[in-house]
Amino acid sequence: MSESYASIAFTRHVRQAQERYGSRAAAQRLGDSVPGGGEPRDPLTAFEADFIELRDGFYLASTSDTGWPYVQFRGGPPGFVKVLDEHTLGWADFRGNRQYISVGNIAGDDRVSVFFMDYPRQLRLKVFGHASVVDVRDDPSLAQALTVEGYRAKVERAVTVTVVAFDWNCQQHITPRYSAEELRAVIGPMQEELERLRAQVRGGAAEA
């Protein structure tokens, strides 16, 4: 965990919980305040960028005007989330159920948390940042840069997140799960081999 992430996540009540449950000493080594004051900004490395751009979905958390948290899953083809620079990531916002809860929440409070999951490898990247929602007509070049070629979905907006801090979470308790495409890569060769063996069996039976 970066010191920047700890400075945001370890609030007064979190520190009290750490003290109560015996993890305060370990947590304190990660830092509780922003060095020099002001808001931190962790730069994304090539490793984070590659990880993010291989994902086919993520979880986005925002907060409503009433203080209630809201978590939304956003999906698309691998690569639909793009790292625009070391401090910025973005994606094309495709038309969905038209409730616009996340969009409305971000208008009131731009702070968001984003979870990127790699279930097969049991990896999880957590991001704190400030989100910005941009209508296609207001910045068509940004929308075009985030559009996924060949993906048939209507792009209504572009969303960018200025990354403040990120953390790689531990692998414990992440259950491996696989998409249909990931399974095809493993099962496909097995199915081909099975068909080859079946053909051999049928050929042997015919000769007999």
Distance CA(11)–CA(60), nearest Å, equals: 21
| Domain that residue 141 falls in | 41-173
**Beta bridge pairs of residue 117:** 124
User: What share of the chain in percent tops pLDDT 70?
Assistant: 93
- For 26-59, the pLDDT digits (tens) are 777 665 554 445 677 889 999 999 999 999 999 9
Residues 186 and 200 in one domain: yes
Same domain, 99 and 86: yes
**Residue 53: its H or E element:** helix 46-53
Collapsing DSSP states into helix, strand and coil, what is residue 36?
coil
Per-residue pLDDT reduced to its tens digit, 108-125: 999 999 999 999 999 999
pLDDT tens-digit map of 76-97: 899 999 999 999 999 988 877 7
CATH number of the domain encompassing residue 86: 2.30.110.10
Judge if 111 and 140 occupy the same domain. yes
What is the structure's pLDDT at 34?
Answer: 45
Token pair for 101: 């809860």
Looking at the structure of the chain, the number of domains it has is 3
**Is the same domain home to 111 and 135?**
yes
Residues 136 and 192 in one domain: no
Is 95:64 a contact under the CB 8 Å cutoff?
no
Return the bridge partners of 159, or none. 91, 133
> What is the rounded average pLDDT for all residues in the chain?
87
The reply to whether 7 and 110 lie within a common domain is: no
Query: Do 95 and 9 reside in the same domain of the chain?
Result: no
Same domain, 91 and 166: yes
